[in-house]
């Protein structure tokens, strides 16, 4: 082994070499000049682009927790919703860039998507079946298409778990959710993540009032951990889906939006709990 290395060292001068991108002649008639290390030139390279996150519906219940979590991780955060910042009075809200726009008019998304590397959509809602389809489906499909055209790398959609019989009563809601999910998996096969929580609990701001929904949600989450087998029952099983804390959803959403190795696809409520535990 030593002989081979020694031969290589001694034959070094006869090897073609590239210095500063130029080919140096190895013609034996030319005197081989001593190897000279040139000082690297300093060039003005801009710093690597920082992650810029756009939260759709960042002034809502889940969206505001997502914005907070992302700011805590040092990301640059913007939000888009119809009312902009609206009634959020918390100090962290001043660190978010608030855009007003309606996802049902996708051209209002163009400016907000400028320089954005990842998107988390927390846009959804209830109403008549046709309204629910529009807000959970069409609005999000518009956002997914616009983000894909703009070259966004990762897109996380806060969808919802199936609720068995309830799915039929809220047809527009679930059909909209599933249509948006299909679009996401098509447009973002490597960077699309769908979170499917059941009931989400935590502190919800309604104007200046804070509603502590955790008072009901937290004990229910503990209780439902022991009823997991019931979740497999046909029709009524999904009603036993455990509620999940809004901070867990926000934590996993931000991680899924920024971690390039976070696997694409659907994450159910148990997956949200697992990823949340792992990142503690």
Ligand X SMILES: NC(=O)c1ccc[n+]([C@@H]2O[C@H](COP(=O)([O-])OP(=O)(O)OC[C@H]3O[C@@H](n4cnc5c(N)ncnc54)[C@H](OP(=O)(O)O)[C@@H]3O)[C@@H](O)[C@H]2O)c1
Rounded distance, CA 123 to CA 51, Å?
A: 21
- Residue from 106, 124, 192, 264 that binds ligand X (CB under 6 A)? 124
Q: How far is the CB of 129 from ligand X (least distance, A)?
A: 15
Residue with tokens 């939260």: 55
In the complex, the smallest distance separating the C-beta of residue 50 from ligand X, rounded to whole angstroms, is 24
Q: Give the residue with the Cβ less far from ligand X, 61 or 188.
A: 61
Among residues 102, 150, 203, 218, which is the contact residue for ligand X, using CB under 6 A?
A: 102
3 state DSSP class of 203? strand
Q: How many Å apart are CA 216 and CA 173, to the nearest integer? A: 24
Report the candidate in 242, 248, 257, 245 with the shortest Cα–Cα distance to residue 279: 248
The verdict on 139 binding ligand X (CB under 6 A) reads: yes
Q: With 0-12 CB in 10 A as exposed, 13-18 as middle and 19+ as buried, what is 47?
A: exposed
Site map (CB under 6 A) of ligand X, residues 209-228, x = contact = --------------------
CB 191, min distance to ligand X, A:
19
Enumerate residues 59-78 that contact ligand X by CB under 6 A.
59-63
Q: Is 178 in the site for ligand X (CB under 6 A)?
A: no
Contact in structure between 269 and 241 (CB atoms under 8 Å): yes
Question: Judged by CB under 6 A, does residue 118 bind ligand X?
Answer: no
Which residues lie below 8 Å from residue 175, measured CB to CB, with a gap of 6+?
A: 133, 137
Residues at the interface with ligand X (CB under 6 A): 57, 59-63, 81-83, 86, 102-104, 122-125, 135, 139, 158, 160, 197, 199-200
């Amino acid at each position: 082994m030593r002989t081979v290395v020694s031969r290589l060292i001694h034959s070094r001068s006869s090897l073609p070499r590239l210095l500063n991108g130029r080919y140096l002649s190895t013609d034996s008639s030319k005197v081989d000049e001593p190897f000279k290390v040139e000082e690297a030139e300093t060039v003005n390279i801009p710093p690597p682009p920082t992650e810029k996150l756009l939260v759709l519906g960042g002034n809502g219940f889940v969206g505001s927790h997502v914005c907070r979590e992302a700011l805590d991780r040092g990301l640059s955060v913007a939000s888009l919703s119809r009312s902009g910042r609206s009634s959020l009075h918390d100090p962290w809200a001043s660190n978010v860039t608030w855009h007003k726009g309606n996802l049902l008019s996708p051209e209002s998304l163009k400016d907000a998507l400028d320089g954005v590397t990842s998107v988390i959509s927390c846009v959804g809602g209830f109403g008549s079946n046709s309204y629910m389809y529009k807000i959970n489906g069409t609005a999000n499909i518009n956002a997914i298409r616009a983000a894909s055209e703009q070259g966004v790398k990762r897109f996380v959609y806060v969808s919802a778990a199936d609720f068995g019989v309830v799915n039929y009563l809220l047809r527009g809601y679930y059909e909209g959710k599933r249509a948006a999910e299909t679009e996401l998996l098509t447009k973002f096969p490597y960077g699309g993540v769908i979170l499917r929580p059941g009931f989400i609990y935590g502190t919800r701001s309604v104007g200046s009032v804070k509603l502590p929904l955790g008072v009901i949600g937290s004990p229910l989450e503990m209780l439902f951990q022991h009823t997991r087998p019931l979740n497999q029952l046909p029709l009524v099983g999904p009603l036993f889906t455990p509620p999940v804390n809004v901070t867990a959803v926000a934590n996993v959403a931000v991680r899924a939006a920024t971690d390039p190795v976070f696997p694409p696809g659907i994450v159910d409520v148990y997956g949200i709990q697992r990823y949340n535990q792992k990142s503690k």
